[in-house]
Structure formats: structure tokens, C-alpha cells
């Protein structure tokens, strides 16, 4: 690009095509600042910018997720009189969707005079990223009714929205499969791969295999989807890994070149059944094809060698890649912790921080675990002094409901369940009517004390005191069941409540599922939270930890990949360690 820019500078009077070419070239290289600089220079040159110039600038905003600049470019397009160009409309819709402003994209879509198949497909893809199944299906139906052609790109996008592992997801996926067959797209390699992926991610492995076998021309992408689908099943058996290996051998017999995704899945297969010999053979092939620096492969290799107890080999793999990002660092830290090398884990964490790395939720979770096991720091310790609080409370003349409630909650938080309940009894004897905060303390005390039946009686008695149960009280009851290991009752309680569509109660259940390592109930709770709040990272992290604690590493890795695919991000909080 430097040569191209020098040639551009030597031109006596560069035309608009030259400017557009430079903008496009810099954008493709990821040099977004230079692309915008050329755009500004084109405006200063008093040239009449065309749709390609503005599309190039919008592409920069899309790639960098710069919504503010995107809106500014949108304004310039409106002033230029080019706003009715469908080419630019599509670029604007894409920009707004990728900046997570799908409502703005929809407004533009509905108020544009001219739309084409690309407009519809772009908006559908935007809703797919946010997992808005209803809107996606409505758009698909409207597109068909408006006489627009449903192409392979459309069907491939919509199928992605069905990969939710829910009854609704599989039902919609099967309906779309019927539509695809009617349109004759079932033998298309792109649609076939999307169908296979949909069935695999919804746990319909037999349907995925059937789809795979029906495809006449299978490429490496389809093989990768099939192998990955097998490795993402709920319980990975020896038969599953054997089938994955059989497909891997078939790839080589067909003369197809395995990709980094192929090797990543095969390493997961070796990890799942602890086949270390074959894992080392796969590693040798990875080195042969010079793929050992890929982050996904290195992460899987670190996990493999950590499981073998060979953190030295894992560290060699870690150091072999030039780009040691947060994902790889976290994998290496987890490997050290798995092998009881807590000092090494902390040392690597400090090194990561010193280099300006930004730890994510997984890193922090692992480091806290290391600190807990080392007992080098009492992180998160609550330094309450209940005796002092009790003394102050007893010296208070005529304590009101607030004073009583604070004391009850204080006892509950410090595990003094009987004291909290005794105080509650005294409070009622003194004729003080409890409020909703009082009952939060009482229910919490029952939860911490394992007093399930007593807690349920207090919950039922709330209405006698004129206190209407709120979301906080329902969460306390869910926690009450959860701490006692009665997870099925907790789930049924949520479903029978008026808060079954509130993510807070499901998070309470999810936390208990991790304590008891119940990956089945945990998955249901997590998927509900993800459905209600698809961009909230906490549910992904909890589900990842449930799978990790239950030693279901492939599914734990899948959750992490899902976060990256959906662009789920969360700034980690600051904690002094």
C-alpha cells in the first residue's frame, strides 16, 4: 500500500476512482485510520463523492464498530442526495447492525424507498447476531410474500438462529429444512453445512449425520462441522471420538487438506477420552503443516498437555506462538492450577498484567481459585463483627423496623441463622410489623442455615403481614432450595412463579448448579438467561465453569467459543489481589 500511496501522491490531479481505490485498499489491510484520512482528503479536494467513497468510509465504521462516526457518515450521505441509493442503504443497515443498533437499522430498512435481496439478508443477519428468532422468521415470511428470492445466503443465515439447543430452535430448524428441500437448496454445500451445524448444535446428531451423508460433494468445511458437531454432544463417549477419528481419516483419504479447525476438534477428541498417544500424533501433524502458532490449536495443546501432567510441554506450546493473547494466557494459567502449580499460575498472571494484558472473567475466576488454594490472600472476606452490631442494637431505645431489619440481615449474612430468626420472633413480640427487607433477611438466614421447610413457611406467612413477595424474595427461595441441593424443586418453583421470564431468578439457580456440578440443570438455567439477555456475560461464564468443574472440557470450550462468536464482552472489575 505504501507503493500505491506514493504513486497516488505523484499524480497531478487524482480522480475519485484513485481515492476510492486507496480507501478500499487500506480498509482491507486493517489500516482504518489511513483509510479515513484518504476519505477526508477526498472531501477537501472538492470532488463529488460517489456511493463507493461513502461505502468505503462506512466499511471502516463497520469494521471498527464506530457508531458515532457511522452516524456522521450517514448525515453526509443524506446531505449529498445519495441516501436513496440501495447500495448505500445496505451499507448503512450493515453498519448499524454490527454496531448493535438493530432498531436503527430496522427504521432505515422500513423507511427506504428501494430495497433488494441484500437489504433483507443484511437485516436478517443483524437479528441472527442478537438471536432474535421471532423477528428473523417474520422477516423471512415477509421476504417471501414480497416476491423476493430466498437464496442460499438467506437460508444459511436463518439456520444459524436455530442453533439454540431448545425445543423452539429444533422445531424452527426442521420447518426451514422442509422449506430448503422445496426450494432445492438441500444439496448446496453452504446450506447443507448450515443444516448439519443446526442439527448438531441442537443435539440431533443422527439428523446431522443423515444430512452429512446426503451431500454429494463434501468439502473440508462440512467435515469440520460434522467433527465439531460430534464433539459438542452432551456426553462424549468413546464411540463419538472413534467416529470423529474415522471422519478425520476420511478427510485425508479424500485428499482434502485439514484446516486449523479440523485439528482443533481432533485435539478436543483426544482430550475427551484422554488419548494422549494419538494427541501427540496430531501435534506432530500440526507441526508438519506449520499450524502450531494458531491460538485455538495452541489452547487445545495446552489443555492436552496439562491433562497429561506435562505443564512444561504446555508452556513450550504457549511460548511457540507470537501472539499470546488473554485466551492462551488463561489456558496456561488453568493448566498450572489443574496440576497444583499455583505459584506458576500467579506468576504468569502478574506477567500478563505487567505486559498490559486485560484479564477476562475466566482469567479472574482461575486466579481467585489459585489464591483460595494457596491461602495467600483472603479475597472477598467479609469482616463483619456481629457482636459489636448486637451491642449497638441493644443500646438503641425503641428500635424501629429499619433497625430490626438491619440486625436480622446482618446476622443472616454472617451465617448466624438462629440468631436472625430469634430476632425476628422478638420483633413480632414487640409489635413491630416486618417489611419486605425484613423478610429478605429472614429468608436469607434460612438459606444459609439450610432450614428449607422453615424458609418455605416464612415465605408463605409474608402475605399475613401484608408483604407482597418480590423478585428478591423469590430469589431467596430459589437459593434456599439450591443450597440444599434440591435443584429440581428450585426449577419448578421458578416455573410456577410470576418471574419465570426474569433472568435474576435463573441466575440464582445457575449458581447452585455450579456448586453441585449439575451440568444438565445448569445448562437449562444458563440457556434461559442467555435467551433473555443474550449479551450478558455472567451466564456464559457460570455455564463454562459448571462444565469445567464437571470435567466436560469440550462443552466448556464450546461456551467460550460461543461468547467470542456472539461478541459477548464484559469489562472485568478492578480487584486488589
pLDDT tens-digit readout, 540-554: 777 777 777 666 666
Element (H, E) at 562: helix 553-565
Question: Which of the four pLDDT bands, split at 50, 70 and 90, describes residue 558?
Answer: confident
Greatest CA span in the chain, whole angstroms? 95
529 part of a folded domain: yes
Report yes or no: 494 and 478 within 8 Å, Cβ to Cβ: yes
Q: Take residue 310 and report the three cell numbers written for it.
A: 506435562
Residue 355 predicted with pLDDT over 50: yes
Per-residue pLDDT, averaged over 101-121, amounts to 89
Report yes or no: 188 and 152 within 8 Å, Cβ to Cβ: yes
SS3 for 491? Answer: helix
The pLDDT value recorded for residue 557 is: 74
Q: Take residue 515 and report the three cell numbers written for it.
A: 456448586
Last residue of a domain, one of 115, 138, 156: 115
Question: Which of the four pLDDT bands, split at 50, 70 and 90, describes residue 326?
Answer: confident
461 part of a folded domain: yes
478 part of a folded domain: yes
SS3 for 547? Answer: helix
264-228-172 Cα angle (round to 5):
150
Range of the domain at 106: 1-115
Please give the C-alpha separations between residue 505 and each of 102, 473, 508, 537, 539, in angstroms, as whole numbers. 28, 10, 5, 16, 12
> In total, how many domains does the chain have?
2
What is the pTM assigned to this prediction?
A: 0.54
Last residue of a domain, one of 115, 138, 167: 115
pLDDT tens digits for 309-325?
Answer: 888 998 998 888 877 77
Query: Count of CB atoms within 10 A of residue 412's CB?
Result: 26
Report yes or no: 355 and 566 within 8 Å, Cβ to Cβ: no
pLDDT tens digits for 207-245?
Answer: 888 888 888 888 898 898 898 888 877 666 677 788 888
SS3 for 406? Answer: helix
More confident position, 89 or 171: 89
Per-residue pLDDT, averaged over 476-488, amounts to 90
Please give the C-alpha separations between residue 428 and each of 214, 433, 445, 455, 518, in angstroms, as whole numbers. 72, 7, 17, 17, 39
The pLDDT value recorded for residue 382 is: 39
550 part of a folded domain: yes
13 part of a folded domain: yes
Last residue of a domain, one of 94, 115, 136: 115
161 part of a folded domain: no
78 part of a folded domain: yes
* Cβ-count burial 216-237 (b if 16+ within 10 Å, e if not): eebeebbbbbbbbbbbbbeebe
Distance, CA of 234 to CA of 168 (rounded, Å): 19
179 part of a folded domain: no
Per-residue pLDDT, averaged over 484-509, amounts to 88
Distance, CA of 535 to CA of 531 (rounded, Å): 9
Amino acid at each position: 500500500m505504501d507503493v500505491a500511496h506514493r504513486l497516488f501522491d505523484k499524480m497531478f490531479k487524482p480522480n475519485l476512482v484513485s481515492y476510492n481505490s486507496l480507501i478500499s485498499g487500506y480498509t482491507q489491510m486493517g489500516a482504518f485510520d489511513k483509510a479515513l484520512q484518504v476519505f477526508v482528503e477526498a472531501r477537501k479536494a472538492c470532488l463529488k463523492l460517489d456511493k463507493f467513497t461513502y461505502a468505503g468510509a462506512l466499511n471502516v465504521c463497520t469494521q471498527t464498530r464506530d457508531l458515532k462516526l457511522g452516524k456522521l457518515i450517514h448525515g453526509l450521505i443524506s446531505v449529498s442526495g445519495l441516501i436513496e441509493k440501495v447500495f448505500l442503504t445496505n451499507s448503512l443497515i450493515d453498519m448499524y447492525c454490527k454496531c448493535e443498533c438493530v432498531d436503527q437499522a430496522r427504521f432505515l430498512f422500513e423507511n427506504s424507498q428501494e430495497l433488494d435481496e441484500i437489504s433483507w439478508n443484511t437485516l436478517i443477519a443483524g437479528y441472527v447476531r442478537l438471536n432474535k428468532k421471532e423477528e428473523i422468521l417474520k422477516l423471512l415470511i415477509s421476504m417471501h410474500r414480497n416476491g423476493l428470492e430466498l437464496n442460499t445466503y438467506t437460508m444459511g443465515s436463518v439456520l444459524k438462529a436455530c442453533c439454540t439447543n431448545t425445543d423452539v430452535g429444533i422445531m424452527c430448524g426442521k420447518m426451514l429444512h422442509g422449506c430448503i428441500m422445496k426450494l432445492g437448496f438441500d444439496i448446496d454445500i453452504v446450506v447443507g453445512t448450515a443444516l448439519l451445524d443446526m442439527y448438531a448444535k441442537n443435539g440431533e446428531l443422527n439428523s446431522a449425520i443423515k444430512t452429512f451423508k446426503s451431500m454429494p460433494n463434501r468439502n473440508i468445511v462440512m467435515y469440520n462441522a460434522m467433527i465439531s458437531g460430534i464433539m459438542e454432544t452432551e456426553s462424549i463417549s468413546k464411540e463419538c471420538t472413534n467416529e470423529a477419528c474415522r471422519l478425520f481419516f476420511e478427510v485425508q483419504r479424500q485428499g482434502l487438506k485439514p484446516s486449523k479447525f479440523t485439528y482443533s476438534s481432533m485435539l478436543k477428541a483426544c482430550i475427551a477420552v484422554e488419548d494422549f498417544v494419538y494427541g501427540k500424533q496430531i501435534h506432530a501433524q500440526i507441526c508438519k503443516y506449520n499450524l502450531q502458532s494458531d491460538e485455538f490449536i495452541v489452547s487445545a495443546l495446552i489443555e492436552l498437555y496439562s491433562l497429561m501432567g506435562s505443564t512444561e510441554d504446555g508452556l513450550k506450546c504457549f511460548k511457540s506462538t507470537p501472539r499470546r493473547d488473554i485466551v492462551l494466557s488463561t489456558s496456561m494459567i488453568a493448566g498450572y492450577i489443574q496440576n497444583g502449580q499455583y505459584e506458576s499460575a500467579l506468576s504468569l498472571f502478574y506477567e500478563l498484567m505487567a505486559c498490559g494484558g486485560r484479564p477476562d472473567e475466566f482469567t479472574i475466576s482461575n486466579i481467585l481459585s489459585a489464591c483460595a488454594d494457596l491461602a495467600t490472600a483472603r479475597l472477598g472476606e467479609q469482616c463483619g463483627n456481629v457482636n459489636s452490631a448486637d451491642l449497638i442494637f441493644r443500646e438503641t431505645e425503641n428500635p424501629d423496623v429499619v433497625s430490626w431489619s438491619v440486625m436480622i440481615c446482618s446476622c443472616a449474612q454472617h451465617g448466624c441463622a438462629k440468631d436472625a430468626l430469634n430476632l425476628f420472633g422478638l420483633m413480632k413480640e414487640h409489635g413491630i410489623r416486618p417489611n419486605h427487607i425484613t423478610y429478605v433477611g429472614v429468608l436469607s438466614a434460612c438459606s444459609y442455615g439450610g432450614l428449607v421447610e422453615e424458609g418455605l413457611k416464612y415465605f408463605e406467612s409474608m402475605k399475613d403481614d401484608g408483604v407482597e413477595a418480590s423478585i428478591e424474595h423469590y430469589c431467596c427461595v430459589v437459593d434456599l432450595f439450591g443450597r440444599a441441593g434440591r435443584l429440581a424443586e428450585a426449577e419448578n418453583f421458578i416455573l410456577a412463579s410470576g418471574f419465570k421470564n426474569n433472568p435474576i431468578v435463573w441466575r440464582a439457580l445457575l449458581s447452585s448448579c455450579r456448586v453441585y456440578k449439575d451440568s444438565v440443570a445448569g445448562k437449562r438455567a444458563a440457556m434461559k438467561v442467555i435467551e433473555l439477555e443474550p449479551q450478558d456475560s455472567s451466564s456464559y461464564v457460570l455455564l463454562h465453569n459448571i462444565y469445567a468443574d464437571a470435567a466436560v472440557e469440550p462443552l466448556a470450550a464450546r461456551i467460550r467459543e460461543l461468547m467470542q462468536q456472539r461478541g459477548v464482552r464484559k469489562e472485568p472489575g478492578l480487584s486488589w489481589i
